[in-house]
Amino acid sequence: MHGFTVATLYLIVGGLVILLGIVILREAPREKANRATALMLSFGGLGSVLGAIGFILEGAGGAGRPGNTDLLRSFNYLWELFFPSLLYFACVFPSENRLIRRVPFAALWILAPHAFHLAIGVVQTQAALTGRLTAWLAKNTIGATVLHIARVPTELTLGVHVILFSAVNLLYIVAALTLLWLSYRRATHARIRIQLRTIFIGLASCAGLYAIAVPIPTLFNQTWPPLTRSTLVVAALVLGSAGIAYSMVRYRFLDAKLIARKSILYALTSAFLVSVYLTIIRQLDVYLETIAGFDVTVFETAILLIALVLFQPMVSWLEEALEHVFLREQSDHRNLLRHMSGEVLTALDPNALADMVLETLREGVPARTTVILMAPGAREPVVRGFGGGVDLDAIASIPRARIDQLTQGAAILRREELRDLVSDGDSGVVMKALLDTGPYLLLPLRHAGQFLGLLSLGRKITETRYTAEEVSLIQTLANQTSVALKNAVLYEENLAKSLLEEELAVARRIQQQFLPARLPEMARFGIAAINLPNKQVGGDYYDIVDLGSGNYLVTIADVAGKGVPAALLASMVQASVRTQAQDGKPVCEMMDRLNRLVYDATPDDRFATCFLARVSTAGLSLSFSNAGHNYPILLPATGAGRLLDFGGIPLGIRPEFAYGETSTPLGPGDALILYTDGITDARNRLMQDYGEERLFQFAVDLPRHLTARQLLDAISVDLSSFTEGAEQADDITLVALKVL
């Protein structure tokens, strides 16, 4: 019974290992690393199965009938093909060895010695057949001569082949482990390194136990008891297979898909439950039946019913526990996607976003080269990447319009499709910097049809194809990167808008500070002013300064531009006017100084218009100078209105320009209207300007008895009626003087 239990456990182990090999082969049957691993596991599992069959035959009395075990012994060496498979695996993972590439049929050459060893083993067990063949050859002279010549080397080969191939196995083990260790030392990708380390530990343990079990005792003409020897061999097989299975489940060795990894966990769970049944329940059956004389039929039925009830919950519980332990690795695709959703989508800086995406790709996909280009709109491109042939500056200089055109309508471009697209015209030359990276997959980053950048990945380090899971991960990452990049762009735009609004608020405060809080009381003059600010702050400015002795300085100005710069320039003009006001200089000299100040303090594209007038209440006269400002409207108490069409160029254009000065008398009832171009340039919904002619005609048609405030109110009402429904484009400023 003990031998049967051991044989059953061997069968379970061998069956699981062979099943693991089949799973690996089905994952990617065309990949050399998968084929090598599947062969290695299949031959190793076969050794466990053959050992189990041997125990079963011995337990059934087969040891006493050599004919029953001759064939089995003939194929006992078959499982030793595990070692050439191990060496072949070390030659093709993580990438194919250059020697293997150059030698034709290299895999067959590695397997050839063991195939010869297997053939010798088969010949040795077929003594009757070889005897008849030898007798037939000895009947003729040539055959006898051949037998005579071959006798000594044949006997020598048959005598030492077991020892010889024990040494060969040791040599294969040392060579395979050396190659794996060198691959581990050269590997740069974190996941590939940890895969190699895990597999190396498992296979080194496997090789060590096998060397203790078979080759080393054979070389010293010693042997273990059959059970001990088989146990060591099976334990070696379990360690080697466990290293491979662990690397597959935990670190996605051979790019194992999630369903394959969960299948391994399910098989391990099922094997554990079966082992519990065989080692505990079956032994309890034997004890109850032989010692206590208990009828186990009822007991086994009860156990079966309990098993049916508990099997699925137990399997689910064990699967969850194993998944928690083995599938929690950070580079697992599900964990990467979960982490990416929480981190990538909240990244608002394109540079930080590019670094994050690059790190995610580095963890999730073992690509030889990776390139990330982020180029939304007219912004400076952000480029990240690594690997051979990656010139980030050259990639950044590729016209994004060409990349957009090349990838138009494609969610993903593979190497073959990309080669066809760049084969025509000058696309290959323009895209050379990107093509030099050896792109295998190219994914444009788009959002709502807008081109934002691209992801490019070269061949995998393992030289295998991209799995469906990896392609899905890359596409999901590209989609979420596009959304995150668009969010980053919108955030920058909103931030710029917020900064602009803050700047406008500052400019508005500056502008309000230099506008008069209240107008002075002027003898014999009524005065009124209106300032209607636009949403964007301009440089409209007006001021009335009391010079004493019944004289006043009236100023209205309009600085070109918007925002804080315009407001600051307007405040500078106000400060200069107020500083010069008490000097008693003619207004033309004051204008000359203003011109020089504006020219020296501003760039070439900055200028201002200004109307500067000295009003005398004693003589009712008006002396003024005009620097490119809108001509004021003079409305006499009697007679036709007219424009004070005297002036020069705006301030800040020509520093040496000399401004003139003129004067005009004022009489009782006369009115003067000053204004900025915010009135004349105002538009209605039909995009028609209010215009200077309409303003002039409307003003001269007003009754002459209206006060200064009434004049401004009338003009404001007419302007509002004209522009009703249209957005105000500029500040509106009006100042009116009325001789009482």
Q: Report residue 273's pLDDT band, with 50, 70 and 90 as the boundaries.
A: low
pLDDT(329) > 60? no
Which pLDDT score is estimated for 613? 92
Q: Which residue has the higher pLDDT, 179 or 430?
A: 179
Which pLDDT score is estimated for 411? 85
pLDDT tens digits for 16-31? 788 878 887 877 778 8
Tokens 């662990």, located at residue = 246
Which pLDDT score is estimated for 63? 46
pLDDT(261) > 50? yes
Q: Report residue 66's pLDDT band, with 50, 70 and 90 as the boundaries.
A: very low
Percent of the chain with pLDDT over 70: 74
- Domains identified in the chain and CATH numbers: 2-256 (1.20.1070), 258-329 (no CATH), 333-490 (3.30.450.40), 515-739 (3.60.40.10)
Predicted TM-score (pTM) of the model is: 0.58
Q: Rounded CA gap, 681 and 363, in Å?
A: 61
pLDDT tens digits for 136-154? 666 676 766 665 565 556 5
Task: Give the mean pLDDT of the chain.
Answer: 79
pLDDT(58) > 80? no
Let me know if 436 is exposed, middle or buried by CB neighbors in 10 A (0-12, 13-18, 19+): middle
Instruction: Tell me the Cα Rg of the chain.
Output: 48
pLDDT(668) > 60? yes
Q: Rounded CA gap, 737 and 147, in Å?
A: 138
- The one-letter amino acid code at 479 reads N
Give the helix ranges, DSSP H, for 515-586: 563-581
296, 288 contact by CB (below 8 A): yes
Q: Which residue has the higher pLDDT, 641 or 317?
A: 641
Which pLDDT score is estimated for 68? 47
- What strands, in cross-sheet order, belong to the sheet with 621-627? 539-548, 551-559, 608-616, 621-627, 662-665
Q: Which of 333-347, 433-447, 566-580 has the highest mean pLDDT?
A: 433-447
Instruction: Determine the angle formed by the axes of helices 333-343 and 468-514, rounding to 10 degrees.
Output: 10
DSSP character at residue 649: P
Q: Which of 12-16, 235-239, 482-486, 629-633 has the highest mean pLDDT?
A: 629-633
555, 579 contact by CB (below 8 A): no
Q: Rounded CA gap, 600 and 576, in Å?
A: 13
383, 371 contact by CB (below 8 A): yes
Q: Rounded CA gap, 730 and 609, in Å?
A: 15
